[in-house]
Amino acid sequence: MIVQSDTVLTDPKDSGPRGYLVRPNDERAYPGIVLIQEWWGIEPHIRDIAQRLASEGFVVMVPDLYHGQIATEPDDARKLIMMLRGNVERALREVELAAEYLRKQPGVLPKKVGMMGFCVGGFLTFKMACRYPHLGASSPWYGGGIDPRTEDISNINAPMLAVYGELDHGIPLDQVRAVESALKAAGKQAEVRVYEGAGHAFLNPSHGAYHEASAQDAWARAVALFKQHLV
């Protein structure tokens, strides 16, 4: 059984940033994971992922980057994502607040947290891996817009599993391979997996081009990463 909360303030001094918190229903301490939404917002799929992670033995915090808004149509999602990308630093700050919230909880151990994100959440996860010092592991999924020439990859200090779909037309394979080469050249403990036959958002059965074999394999690998480096 898991416990859920929709009204967690990630910063008690600020009534704005909030998050969706999920944890196992007992008094034990568990590792923490920050889960970052796709461009739809904190929709049922993201809540389901949070619950699945909690069932694996993690405390999960999902920062509400859209501040209560959820898109159900691509046009609405596109408008929301444009606003977010117009202020990426604010989004990164709210992700950091979520991570710090987890680290301060007595029921979260160790004090290095995991981070996992999808689509724009994958982009933000990668950005945070390059700047946030308290990560134990990260897993960005199909996050586009990463330019290894401008990212401070040298600051990545935790193992990473980066997940992509071969048929994701929004993220060219040469861009993925450039990221992979930059991680390897920097000597980072990072695995880049490209799934054949899978497109963008292949884990999402509601909005993406769900690809069952790839989804199952990538999910198992991500959970194993967090269990290895956080538990």
Note down the domain range covering 61: 2-230
Where in the sequence numbering do the catalytic residues fall? 119, 168, 200
Q: What is the pLDDT of residues 48-61, one digit of tens each?
A: 999 999 999 999 99
- Provide the number of structural domains found in the chain: 1
Q: What is the pLDDT of residues 149-160, one digit of tens each?
A: 888 999 999 999
Is the pLDDT at 13 greater than 90? The verdict is: no
Which pLDDT belongs to residue 12?
57
Q: Encode the chain in three state secondary structure.
A: CEEEEEEEECCCCCCCCEEEEEEECCCCCECEEEEECECCECCHHHHHHHHHHHHCCCEEEEECCCCCCCCCCHHHHHHHHHHHHCCHHHHHHHHHHHHHHHHCCCCECCCCEEEEEECHHHHHHHHHHCCCCCEEEEEEECCCCCCCCCCCHHHCCCCEEEEEECCCCCCCHHHHHHHHHHHHHCCCCEEEEEECCCCCCCCCCCCCCCCHHHHHHHHHHHHHHHHHHHC
Asked whether the whole model's pTM tops 0.75, one would answer yes
Q: What is the pLDDT of residues 125-145, one digit of tens each?
A: 999 999 999 999 999 999 999
CATH of the domain at 113: 3.40.50.1820
Q: What is the pLDDT of residues 58-82, one digit of tens each?
A: 999 999 999 888 999 999 999 999 9
